[in-house]
Amino acid sequence: MLTFYEHPLSPYAQKVKIALREKGLPFEAHTPSGLGSGADYDPAFLAASPRGEVPALVDGDTRVFDSTIILEYLEDKWPGSPLLPRDPQARARARMIEDLMDTHYEAINWGLIEIRYMGRITGAMADTLRARAAEQTAAWRRWLNVELGDAPWFGGSQFGLADLAVVPYLNCSAEFGLRPDPGTALAEWFERVNARPAVAETAREALEIMPALDGIAPLLAAGAFKREYRDHRLEWIIRSGGMQVVLDGIAKDNIRFFSEFDNV
Ligand SMILES: N[C@@H](CCC(=O)N[C@@H](CS)C(=O)NCC(=O)O)C(=O)O
């Protein structure tokens, strides 16, 4: 049985769960203790994921972290129900869509979660960042609509990697009222993809745990939880007008950065 370290709200974990379900691979899901704290991690989890991030997969003696690498591992080891087309150009295209969603798009949702749930961004700053996020996601939806074209799926005639890499992000945006425009190809795809059992089950698990976010601001204020400001997320908040949020977080020591595996 595969062990899968995850959090139902993590879009990266959702990508992998959709793939596991599409491939019919049974797995045991665990949300590791210490996730998001920067300390006190479950040691078995840390052995699989030295950055302390979900998702991570344990398959016997094999430990794999990072959603993209896990998806490659699944495809290499269980090529049945393939998630990538055969054509090299189409494979590259699916991977490029995944990369853009995992980096730039994810950062926008991360920012919206900061604003709605973490309690450190309020007033005019929150309005500015929310407005930027709305403009940015609209631009992404225009781009995705062009990428999809007339095809039923992002990879062409078959559901695959690009679809499972887009849907967790668009589902999260939808929770913030940012949805594909009715009548567009993207809106039709959005319905089609969410009707797939693997996607629907994964999305339902995320929605079920969403209310837990309501209790997170007091934990953050008490110093029990520090959100990691890194990579495209850090870039997003700076380029969208939130530099002061970063400076305040450093001054109050309630944000954190990557720190050379000092938990290992
Ligand atoms: N590049 C990684 C990113 C994984 C990631 O950022 N996971 C987040 C959850 S969405 C996490 O575990 N964060 C832990 C933390 O902030 O301490 C992947 O694709 O798996």
Q: Does the pLDDT of residue 59 top 70, yes or no? A: yes
pLDDT of residue 146: 98
pLDDT of res. 164: 98
Residue 172: what pLDDT? 98
In the chain, what are the domains?
2-77 (3.40.30.10)
Which residue CA neighbors atom 1 of ligand 1 most closely? 66
Of the pLDDT bands very low, low, confident and very high (cuts 50, 70, 90), residue 224 is: confident
Rounded to the nearest 10°, the torsion over CA 26, 85, 173, 177 is: -110
Q: pTM for this one?
A: 0.97
Q: Which residues contact 122 (CB under 8 A, 6 or more apart)?
A: none
The alpha carbon dihedral of 128, 105, 36, 258 has a sign of: negative
Closest C-alpha to ligand 1, atom 2: 66
The per-residue pLDDT for 37 is: 75
pLDDT of residue 117: 96
Q: Which of 147, 137, 63, 81 is nearest to 106 (CA)?
A: 137
Counting from 1 in the atom list of ligand 1, the atom nearest the Cα of 53 is: 12
Nearest atom, ligand 1, residue 70 CA: 20
> Is residue 38 over pLDDT 70?
yes
pLDDT given at position 125: 97
Q: Determine which residue's CA is closest to atom 10 belonging to ligand 1.
A: 10
Task: Give me the mean pLDDT over the 235-260 stretch.
Answer: 94
* Number of other CB atoms surrounding residue 216 within 10 Å: 17
Cα-Cα-Cα-Cα torsion 217, 218, 219, 221, nearest 10 degrees, comes to 90
231-238 long-range contacts, CB within 8 A, separation 24+: 231/103, 231/107, 232/103, 232/104, 232/106, 232/107, 233/106, 233/107, 233/110, 233/111, 235/107, 236/104, 236/107, 236/108, 236/110, 236/111, 237/111, 237/114, 237/129
CB-CB contact of 121 with 129 (8 Å): yes
> What is the model's pLDDT at position 263?
60
Per residue in 73-112, pLDDT (tens digit) is 999 999 999 999 999 999 999 999 999 999 999 999 999 9
Q: What percent of the chain has pLDDT over 90?
A: 89
- C-alpha of residue 199 to centroid of ligand 1, in Å: 20
pLDDT in tens, 112-138: 999 999 999 999 999 999 999 999 999
Residue 39 confidence class, pLDDT cut points 50, 70, 90? confident
Mean pLDDT of 153-174: 97
